[in-house]
Amino acid sequence: MSSAMVRAYCHKVIKLSDTLQTFALEKEAISNVHGVRAEFTREGARRAATAIAVSNRTNSMNATVVEANNNRNNTDIYFIGKILWAKGLDKLLELEDFYRKIVGEYFPIDIFGSGPEKKEIMRAFHGRKLHFKEKADGNENSLSTIISAAMEVLNDPEFGSESGDLFEELTDEIELNGVKDDAHFFHKEEPLTAKDKLGSLLRVLSLRTESLEIDLPKSLHEWRKQPVPSRFPGRVDHALLKDQFKIFVNPSVTEVLCTTTAEALAMGKFAIIPDHPSNRFFMKFPNCLVYQNKWEFVANLRWAQSHEPEPLTPELLHEFTWEAATERFINAAAITNEEAKERARLGKTKLDERIAWFHNELGKGVKGDRLRKVLGGGPISDQVKYVKSKIEGQEPGFDECEDDIDNIFRNLGYSSITQSIRSSFEKGILLPNSLAAWI
C-alpha cells in the first residue's frame, strides 16, 4: 500500500540512506538532506582555528595535543544516544572484549543517554557479581531468609497442635506484607494434619514471595567477571560535550542516518563507525574512521588515541549546515530530462496515473466511508459525510471554491512562500514538474 501511494502521488522520493525500503526505483534518490545546529559547526571551526594557530606557532602538533587534552576528562571515548540494545550496545560490548584480547585491557568509555533498558545494560558492562552480593547482604526479605524462617516453624514439635497455629506461627516468624488480610483461610476449627501443614506453608510462601523482585539476567554479558570501565552519566545535550572528548564510537547499524555521528564530526572529533549504508554520507570526511571487522575497529581506535583529529576546512564544515542540506534537497528533488525520458520509456507514468485514479474512486461517496471503516479507519472513516456537513453549513459559493483545485494552486502561486521558492531557483536549477506547473 505504501509503495502504491508513493507511486500515485510522489514525483520524487528522497531517502536519507539506502537502508530504507524501495518504493519506486525510477523515482528514488539517496541524499542526506539533514543538517546540524550551528553550535556544532562553530565548535568545529574553533577547533580547526586553534589547531592551525598552534601548529603555525610551534611548527609541531605536540603542542596541539597537550592544549587539547587540558580541557578533556581522563576518558577520551564516548557514546551518546538512546540506551537500548538495538542501538548497538551489544556490539560495543563485543568490541570491548575483542579489544581486551588484543591490547590486554578494556578501553574506558562514557555512555550518555537514557532508556528502558539502561539498568540491564549497566549490569552488562559492570557485571552482576558485586550487585548480587550487596543485594543478598542487605535484603532481610530475601527468598533464603523466608525459607529459613518457615523451616524453623515447620520443625517446631509444638507446630500445629492447636487450630490456627500455622497462621499464628508463620506471621510471627515471617513478616507478611499485604498478605495478612488474605490469609484467614489458613484457620481451621480442627487440628491440622501433616498434609494441611505442608499445603498451608506452601501457600504462605507463595503469597510472600510474590512481592520479591525476580531480577533475572537479560544477557550473558551480565555474568562477566571483569567489569568494563564505563560510566553512565545520564541524558545530556550533545553540544555540552564539545570540549570533553575527542573520539565518538557508534557501532549501531539500525539507524537510517545517525545525527549524533554528524554532530560529532561537525565538532571536529573522530567518529569510529561501521561500514554500513546508513553511514555512507560520513565516509568522505577525514575524521570518520570506518571499520568492517573487529580488527579494523581496534586499529582505528588505537590510531585515534595517539593522534589528533584533522582540522576541518570551511568547505567540509559547510557540508554539515542546514544551508547545505537544503541545497542537496533541491538538487535531489529535480527531475532531469534524462530521468523524464527514462520514465516515459518504462511506461510507469501511465501506471502511476491509474493507481491515483483507482485510489480516488475508492474513496468517493458513501462507499469510500464504508471502505475506510472496513480497513480500520476508526473515527476518521466518515470523511465524505464530514465534508458534506461542513459545506452545507457554509455561505453560498463555498462549495465551488472548495472544489476548484486550480484556484487553490493559482492563489498559492502568489503567496510569499512561492516567491521565496522561485528566488531559490534563479540559478536555473530544473524544477520538478509538480512545482513548475504553478510557480
Condensed to tens digits (0 to 9), the pLDDT of residues 144-161 reads 555 565 556 555 555 554
Q: What's the pLDDT band for 398 if we cut at 50, 70, 90?
A: very low
Maximum average pLDDT range among 25-29, 84-88, 222-226, 297-301 = 297-301
Average pLDDT over residues 72-82: 81
Locate 336 and state its grid cell: 532531469
Average pLDDT over residues 12-38: 89
Q: What is the pLDDT of residue 363?
A: 79
Q: What's the pLDDT band for 394 if we cut at 50, 70, 90?
A: low
For residue 392, pLDDT over 90 is answered with: no
Between CA 176 and CA 141 the distance in angstroms is: 10
Maximum average pLDDT range among 254-258, 268-272, 367-371 = 268-272
Q: What is the pLDDT of residue 54?
A: 74
Between CA 321 and CA 330 the distance in angstroms is: 15
The overall average pLDDT reported for the chain is 76
Q: What's the pLDDT band for 390 if we cut at 50, 70, 90?
A: confident
Maximum average pLDDT range among 45-54, 109-118, 121-130, 210-219 = 109-118
DSSP-based three-state secondary structure for 266: helix
pTM of the predicted model as reported, rounded to 2 decimal places: 0.65
For residue 174, pLDDT over 60 is answered with: no
Q: What's the pLDDT band for 368 if we cut at 50, 70, 90?
A: confident
In the chain, the domains with their CATH numbers are: 38-127+222-312 (3.40.50.2000), 137-209 (no CATH), 363-393 (no CATH)
Q: What is the pLDDT of residue 209?
A: 53
Condensed to tens digits (0 to 9), the pLDDT of residues 267-323 reads 999 999 999 999 999 999 999 999 999 999 999 999 999 999 999 999 999 999 999
Beta-strand pair 13-15/28-30: parallel
| Selected residue with higher pLDDT from 298 and 340 | 298
Burial 334-354 (b: 16+ CB within 10 A, else e): bbeeeeeeebeeeebeeebee
Q: Which of 61-70, 277-286, 328-337 has the lowest mean pLDDT?
A: 61-70
Give the H or E element holding residue 110. strand 109-112
Between CA 425 and CA 331 the distance in angstroms is: 10
